[in-house]
Structure 1
Amino acid sequence: MKISASALLDELKERTSQHLEYAQTLTLKTEEELNFRTSADSWSTLECLEHLNRYGNFYIPEISHNISSAGKTPQPYFKPGILGNYFAKSMLPKEKPNKMKTLKTMNPIHSQMNKGVIDSFIKQQEKLLELLEEARHTNLEKVKTNISISKLIKLKLGDTFRFVIYHNERHIGQIQRILNS
């Protein structure tokens, strides 16, 4: 599957803009609403965002570093890698999302949270939008990034963006379900 690099970046920018706008609406909620959990072992809205912030703390600097050290040789098309495509697609929201186990370091359950978590998420989404724009001048296939779970695996930049942004979308859907409870 080969896709237009600019179309992919446009799609990812649109999704990220929606995540940013949604996060801004969350600032209007009370901390009580944002800390509500549907059960003792489920995440609250702020815990979902903190989980995303922890991933963002790894991936945003990783993406930024690799874009800034890459040559300015954009390619018109992007072909996802086998592993990267699998990871990205596994994050896409589904009708009934499959449960996934998260790494202990990425699990914020029962942490003390306040609205600063939302501010951090908003800043990360703004940075992601900047990086997506910078990525227009790089090769989404040749530029590789490390992943958070192993130093042995690298993904194509296009797949890394897809994974991070689809992961954000997955948990925004989770937040919407929590708040609708």
Structure 2
Amino acid sequence: MNHTAFLIALQTATQQLRATAQAEFEPLDLALLNHQPAPGSWSILECLEHLNRYSRYYNPQLSKALTQASSIADQPVGYSWLGRKSVNMMRPDNRKKHTTLKHMNPSGSRLGREVLNEFLAHQTALLDLLARAHAADLNRKAVPVEFFRLLKLRLGEALEFVVVHQQRHLQQALRVKAGLQVSLAC
């Protein structure tokens, strides 16, 4: 996919993530947002807090990479083996469960509405980063992987990883909400 189409697709997905979170989760009361569907399962706010923890790392890394990135003409976005594997592993349609790193796991937390507000703010920041990325070389290895910083993703891979990871966990949060509606109906 070429540079421009790639970024437009990520911007559209990010706008949809933000709109979905606002529409689906803002109306819920705090008890429902913190409800865990089963022991060890994440609540809606735990799903969002997990994403916030990743955004706290990746958004500054992406901003730094964009500041240092050279300009490039519209060209196809390329993938390294690590980048392709990372993105495919996080795609929402990949139903395989993955173990979350301890420091990224919010399990058992009692969280407030500030988690949702922070998530929405991170989406706004990501949209700004995606707008800046239109003038950057997306094929430059520039973003250290959170769990092993010696490895680097290309800028385009990192942007896509962040978006698909958010889509994956927002779908998880929506499944938690759907379960709430079923249990409330009974």
TM-score tier by shorter-chain length is over 0.9
Alignment partner of 1:104 is 2:63: no
Q: In the alignment, residue 154 of structure 2 is paired with which amino acid? A: K
- Residue 144 of structure 1 corresponds to which residue in structure 2? 142
Q: Give the distance between the partners of 2:105 and 2:73, measured in 1 at CA.
A: 36
- Residue 116 of structure 1 corresponds to which residue in structure 2? 114
For the residue of structure 2 that corresponds to 1:78, the secondary structure is coil
Taking the TM superposition and a 5 Å limit, the aligned residue runs for 1:54-73 are 54-73=53-72
Q: In the alignment, residue 72 of structure 1 is paired with which amino acid? A: S
The CA deviation at 1:83 is 0.9
Question: Which digits, 9 at most, give the CA deviation of each residue in 1:99-151, with x for residues without a partner?
Answer: 11000000001112011000000000001001001000000002511110112
Question: Structure 1-normalised TM-score?
Answer: 0.95
8 A Cα contact 1:67 1:143, kept in partner: no
Q: Give the distance between the partners of 2:53 and 2:73, measured in 1 at CA.
A: 29
Q: Give the distance between the partners of 2:32 and 2:151, measured in 1 at CA.
A: 39
Q: Give the distance between the partners of 2:145 and 2:43, measured in 1 at CA.
A: 26
For the residue of structure 2 that corresponds to 1:155, the secondary structure is strand
8 A Cα contact 1:75 1:138, kept in partner: no
How high is the sequence identity, in percent, across the aligned residues?
33
Gaps of 5+ in 2: 180-186
Question: Which digits, 9 at most, give the CA deviation of each residue in 1:28-66, with x for residues without a partner?
Answer: 111111011110110000000000000000000000011
Q: In the alignment, residue 48 of structure 1 is paired with which amino acid? A: C
Question: Structure 2-normalised TM-score?
Answer: 0.92
Alignment partner of 1:89 is 2:88: yes
- Residue 128 of structure 1 corresponds to which residue in structure 2? 126
